[in-house]
Amino acid sequence: MSVLTSPRGKVEVVHCRRTESQDIYCIKNLIRKFTQKLFGSLNIISLLEKANLAITLHNDQEEIMAQATFLDYPNWNVAPQEDWVSVFRELDSEIPCTPLNTLFMHLFVAVDEYSVGCCKEIIRTVFKAVPDLHFIFLIVPSYMSLGSTLITVFNQVGNIPSLTYDEDFAVHICHRHSHYPQLHIRKARVEDHDDLVPIFLHHDTILKETYGKYFLAELIEAQDEENHAIVCEVEGVAVGFMNVCSRVNMQLLHECFDLGPFHGLCTPHPDDVLEPPQELSVQGSSGAELRSSSQECQQIVKEPQEAVSPEAGESIQRKSTEEAAVEEALSPVQSENTSEAEDTEKLSQEYSVDYTDYCISNTSSASISLPEETSNFRPIYRGASTAFCIQMFCIDEKHEARSLDFMNFVFSLFPDKNFCIISLPHLTPEFVLIQNFVKIVPFNNCTLDQDLYVFHRAGLLNFRAPAPTR
């Protein structure tokens, strides 16, 4: 939210948001003939679909006050869309523009009475929303002036020819440092205490109640090779603070969090144990075989007898009457073979009992010797720690979007470290700095009631070190 004042003294409160499709009608109503000469004939729907960023300003009555659209290639045909960097480097080699830190303004419209204020507010919002952005280019026909509005934020760099027309185009540039500069980062001094205490007390008073009124000055004085206190300043006034330490309890982190993708935040070592031993896997397979064999035994022992149908019963009765007559004729033979049949029956009973006992003993031994699940395995890292931690961080809300400016400086304090970590309570609201970190997955048996976040040094590859402005 910002307050704009017109040249006639009228005041309007404006809010900034991303452009929506329902804004198209109002955007078209704000387009003037001067706008068409400056940006050309545009298809607003197509332009918004391709836009990298589109910003709309509206007042409390939801009336659109201004709109701007930005893309990552020139707004006139002065260079190929995929290879415009070489053309602009030839124009001015001192401008380190790349596709990662540059946008081009393709459209700007505003209510005439508030156009200057709206233009500055949109430019400031764009630089605030995109931390890696450092340059905004505007290309217009060389015979056109920017008008009284755009001239307040853009400066001409030079002229370049068109690829399709026999005319030149003027290139204008807008720098970040003129609207939402990077913060100057330095080591903290005791003199920063008075500037920083109001920022801390605005968020929390527990530190003051726990450690006393001058806890911050004592923390700054206690700096050494392992502990550093850093501040960010604007015009000589400290507006943010960060305390970092290289002492990290790696054993606790290895027990509670899955740090495998980051090699445990340690340097590789020949004695690292990254996979479960083979013995565990062999025992696991043998345990599975024992369980399957025990199940087969139980099925054999507990197999139910089949029910006898009535038709089968009648046939059995007929067979029994026929066998009764035969028994009388074969009674001598039967008496001779009685002892032999009894011996066979005893052998079969003994075999079934022994087989059942074997199955039961097998089952009990399997249940006793089953190994623990291999999911409980924790890698063992024997290399040196490559991480340092953020112990305390606070920044003024006005400059919160530039929180990442701290990271380049703190990594320079620990040249042998590749990871920066921070732990936060589970219900901590997400803030700007933490959005650049990666959240680590905890183990199921994690005993630490906090979330762990990691930032790798490689995250600074697209980052430009801030200039030491005061």
Question: Helix and strand tally (H, E) in the chain?
Answer: 14, 15
Contact yes or no for 245/423 (Cβ under 8 A): no
Please give the torsion angle defined by the CA atoms of residues 337, 343, 348 and 349, in that order, rounded to the nearest 10 degrees: 130
Instruction: Say which residue, 178 or 185, is predicted with more confidence.
Output: 185
Distance CA 95, CA 467 (A): 14
List pLDDT tens digits, range 298-326: 454 444 444 444 444 444 444 444 444 44
Q: What is the DSSP string of 148-171?
A: HHHTTT-EEEEEEE-SSSSSEEEE
List pLDDT tens digits, range 390-408: 999 999 888 888 898 899 9
**What's residue 18's pLDDT?**
93
Q: Flag the least confident range among 163-177, 279-293, 335-349.
A: 335-349
Residue 293 Cα distances to 101, 265, 288, 353, 362, angstroms: 66, 44, 9, 17, 8
List pLDDT tens digits, range 364-374: 344 444 444 44
Contact yes or no for 110/118 (Cβ under 8 A): yes
List pLDDT tens digits, range 423-433: 999 888 888 89
At 207, is the pLDDT very low, low, confident or very high (cuts 50, 70, 90)? low
Average pLDDT on 21-28 reads: 90
**What's residue 274's pLDDT?**
80
- Residue carrying the six token digits 């940006």: 39
In whole numbers, what is the pLDDT of the chain averaged over residues? 79
Contact yes or no for 416/435 (Cβ under 8 A): no
pTM: 0.66
| Whether residue 168 has pLDDT greater than 50 | yes
For helices 278-301 and 331-369, give the axis angle rounded to 10 degrees: 150
HSE-up (13 A, CA, CB side) for residue 70:
24
Average pLDDT on 195-205 reads: 81
**What's residue 222's pLDDT?**
86
List pLDDT tens digits, range 437-448: 999 999 888 888
Q: Residue 293: what are its φ and ψ, rounded to 5°?
A: -70, -40
Q: Do 184-267+382-460 and 2-178 fall under one CATH topology?
A: yes
Distance CA 75, CA 71 (A): 8
Q: Which of 460, 452, 448 is nearest to 417 (CA)?
A: 460
Q: What is the rounded radius of gyration, in angstroms, for the C-alpha atoms of the chain? A: 40
Which helix (H) or strand (E) element contains residue 405? helix 405-413
At 13, is the pLDDT very low, low, confident or very high (cuts 50, 70, 90)? confident
| Whether residue 282 has pLDDT greater than 70 | no
List pLDDT tens digits, range 120-151: 999 999 998 888 899 999 999 888 888 888 99
- Answer whether CATH 3.40.50.620 is correct for domain 2-178: no
| Whether residue 10 has pLDDT greater than 50 | yes
Q: Which of 408, 400, 468, 455 is nearest to 240 (CA)?
A: 400
| Whether residue 210 has pLDDT greater than 50 | yes
At 257, is the pLDDT very low, low, confident or very high (cuts 50, 70, 90)? very high
Q: Which listed CATH number (3.10.310.30, 3.20.20.140, 3.40.630.30, 3.40.50.720) goes with 184-267+382-460?
A: 3.40.630.30
Average pLDDT on 451-462 reads: 88
For helices 331-369 and 310-329, give the axis angle rounded to 10 degrees: 130
| Whether residue 104 has pLDDT greater than 90 | yes
Average pLDDT on 265-273 reads: 87
**What's residue 366's pLDDT?**
40
Residue 327 Cα distances to 30, 97, 229, 290, 343, angstroms: 117, 112, 108, 49, 21
Instruction: Say which residue, 346 or 178, is predicted with more confidence.
Output: 178
**What's residue 146's pLDDT?**
87
At 295, is the pLDDT very low, low, confident or very high (cuts 50, 70, 90)? low
Tokens at 56, concatenated: 């709309």
Buried b (16+ CB within 10 A) or exposed e, 298-316: eeeeeeeeeeeeeeeeeee
Distance CA 36, CA 28 (A): 11
Domains of the chain: which residue ranges?
A: 2-178, 184-267+382-460, 280-305+343-376
Residue 367 Cα distances to 122, 241, 299, 353, 459, angstroms: 70, 58, 17, 21, 50
Q: What is the DSSP string of 212-224?
A: -TTHHHHHHHT--
